[in-house]
Structure 1
C-alpha cells in the first residue's frame, strides 16, 4: 500500500513546484527576463525591449525599474498588488497616455520617474493616491497642459521636474498645495506671456525664487516672473488639441498636369495606418516569446506528470 501514498506525495510535490515556478516567472532564476534581488527587494527589468509590464512581479518589491523599454501604454491594473513599492522607474519608454487609477495602489511610493516618454496629457486625479511622493519627474515629454488640481494631494513633494515639455501655462493654484516643495524645474517650455493665464505662474515664481529653476517666455528671452498684468493683457483661449503630428509630403506621381497639382501634407501616423504599416515595436520580443514557450512547455510537462501519477495510483489500487 506504499505505492499510492508515494504517488500522492509525488503529485503534491510536483503541483507545489510548478505553482511556485509560475508565480516567480518574472525573475531570471525562474526563467523570466528580470533580475530580482531578494535582499533589497529590487526588480530590474530595464533594457529588455518590453512592450508590456511583466506579470507576477513579487508583491514585496520595493523598487521596480522598467526604463529603456518600448512601453507605449499601461494596463490600468499593471501595478495593483504592489502596495510596498517606494520607487517606480518608467523613464525612457514610449508612453503616450496614462490610464486613470494606474498608480492608485502605490500608496507607499516615494519616487516616480516618467521622464523621457511621449506623454501628451495627464488624467485628472492621476497622482491623488500618491500622498507620500517626494520626487516626481515628468520632464522631456510632450505635455501641453496640466489638469486642474493635478498636484493638490502631493503635500510631501519636494522635487518636481516639468522641463522640456510643451506647456504654455499652468492652472491657477497648480502649486499652492505643494507645501514641502524645494525644487521645481520649468525651463524648456514655450510659456505664453501674452495671455493673462500666465500671471499665476509669474507671481508664484516671483515669490518662490529659491524653489525653482528659471522659466522664460516663448516670445522673448524675458523671465516669466517679470511679466506684468499690462504685458499679459490678452484673454486667450487655447484649442483643445493634441501635439502636432509630424507630417510627410506625399507628391502625386508624375503626370502631364503634375505642375497644377498641389503637394498634399498627410499626417505620417494616418498614412502608415492607410498602408497597413505596423512598427516592429509591436512585435513580441525574444524574451517574451521564450517566456511564453517555456510556460507552455512547463504546463504540458505538469499535466504529463500528473497523468503519470494518477495512473500509478490506479495501478496500485487495482493490485490492492
Structure 2
C-alpha cells in the first residue's frame, strides 16, 4: 500500500516544482526578464525595454518595479492576480491612458508611481479601490484636468505629486477627503487665475498652508510671479468653462509650435498599412529577445512537468489496480 502514497507525494512535489519553474522562467538569470528576491516577495522588471507586462509574475509579489520600460498601454486586468502588491512603480514609461479598473484588485497598495509618462487624463474611479494608498506620484505627465472625485477614496494619502502637468484648475472639493495629506506639489502647472474655478484651490491652500508642504507653490500660468494663494475675487471674475467638458472655450486662437510638433510625432499610422507594405509589424510592438526566451523556457518547463505529472498519475492507477 506504500506505492500509491509515494506516488501521491511525487505528484505534489512535481506540482510544486512546476510552479517554481514557471517563476524561474520570469526570474532566471540566463534569459529571464526580471530579477526576483523571493525572501522579500520583490520582482524587479525595470529598464528591460518591455512593451508588455510579463504574464507570470508570482501572485505573492508585494513589490513590483516596471519603471524605465516602453509600456504604452496596460491591459485592463494586468494586475488582477497581484492583490498583495504594496508597491508598484510604472514611472518613466510611455503610458498615455489608464484603463478603468486596472488597479481595482490592488487593495493593499501603499505606493504608486506614475510620473514621467504621457498621461493626458484619468478615469474618474481609477483610484477608488486604493484605500490604503499613502503615496501617489503623477508629476511630469500631460494631465489637462482632473475628474470629479478622483481622490475621494484616498483617506490615508500623505504624498501627492501633481507638478509639471498642464492643469489649469481642479474640480470643486477635489482635495477635501485628503485628511492625512502632508505634501501636495502643484507647481509648474498653467493655473488659470482669471476663472472663478480657481477660487476653490486658493481657499484650500489658504486653509492648509500650515500643515501641507508644497501647495503654496502653485502660481498663475499667465503671471508666474503671482501665487494662486494671493489672487482675489476680482482677479478671478470670469465664468470659464471647465476644461474637462466637450464645450471648453479655447484660451488662445493660435497654437504654439511646440504643440504642433508634439502632435506630429504622436500621429499613428494604421498598423495594417505597415503589414501590407512591409510584411511585418512595427518593431516597437515585437516581443524583445528576453521575452521570447522567457516564453520558450516556460513552454519547455511546462511540457516536462506535464510529462512527469502524467507518469505519476499512471503510477498511482497501476498500484490502485493491483490493490
Q: Do these two structures clear the TM 0.5 threshold for a shared fold by scoring above it?
A: yes
Structure 1 position 37 matched with structure 2 position 41: no
Matched, 1:292 2:284: no
- Mapping for residues 244-263 of structure 1, pairs under 5 Å: 247=260
C-alpha deviation, 1:230, in angstroms: 1.1
* 1:20-99 aligned within 5 A: 20-22=20-22, 24-28=24-28, 32-99=32-99
User: Secondary structure of the residue that 2:40 maps to in structure 1?
Assistant: coil
The residue aligned with 1:240 is 246
2:230 matched to 1:226?
yes
In the alignment, the residues of structure 2 paired with residue 76 and residue 140 of structure 1 have an alpha-carbon distance, to the nearest angstrom, of: 23
Aligned partners of 1:35, 1:73: CA distance in 2, in Å? Answer: 23
User: SS of the counterpart of 2:197?
Assistant: helix
CA-based RMSD of the aligned residues comes to: 3.5
If asked which structure has higher relative contact order (CA below 8 Å, sep 6+), I would say 2
Aligned to 1:170: 170
**CA displacement, residues 10-64 of structure 1 (integer Å, 9 cap, x when unaligned):** 7776565334412553222696322111222211111111112222322222211
Q: Distance in 1 between matches of 2:158 and 2:316?
A: 64
Matched, 1:122 2:122: yes
Q: Which runs of 5+ in 1 are unaligned?
A: 250-265, 315-320
> Shift in Å at residue 185 of structure 1?
0.2
Shift of 1:182: 1.0
Larger radius of gyration: 1
Give me the whole-angstrom Cα distance separating, in 2, the residues matched to 1:274 and 1:105: 32
SS in 1 for 2:25: coil
Cα distance, 1:20–1:230 mapped onto 2, change above 3 Å:
same
Alignment correspondent of 1:256: none
Q: Deviations over 1:258-294 (max 9, x none)?
A: xxxxxxxx84444644994575322211110111222
Aligned length: 300
Equivalent pair of 2:132/2:156 in contact (CA under 8 Å): yes
Q: SS of the counterpart of 1:100?
A: coil
Match of residue 206 from structure 1: 206
Q: Are 2:115 and 1:109 equivalent residues in the alignment?
A: no
TM-score where L is the length of structure 2: 0.80
Q: 1:196 aligned to 2:196?
A: yes
Q: Distance in 2 between matches of 1:295 and 1:75?
A: 21
1:134 is displaced (CA, Å) by 0.9
Residues 25 and 295, structure 2, Cα contact 8 Å, conserved in 1: no
Q: Is the 8 A contact 1:21 1:30 kept in 2?
A: no
Compared with structure 1, are the counterparts of its residues 58 and 293 closer, same or farther at alpha carbon in structure 2 (3 Å cutoff)? closer
Distance change in 2, residues 1:269/1:94 (3 Å): closer
User: How much does 1:109 deviate?
Assistant: 1.2
Using the size of structure 1 for normalisation, the TM-score is 0.80
Structure 2 vs 1, CA of residues 301 and 136 (structure 1 numbering), >3 Å: closer, same or farther? same
Q: Summarize the Cα distance change of 1:9–1:83 in structure 2 as closer, same or farther, 3 Å threshold.
A: closer
Report the alpha carbon displacement of residue 204 of structure 1 after superposing the two structures with TM. Answer: 1.1
How far is 1:164 from its partner? 0.3
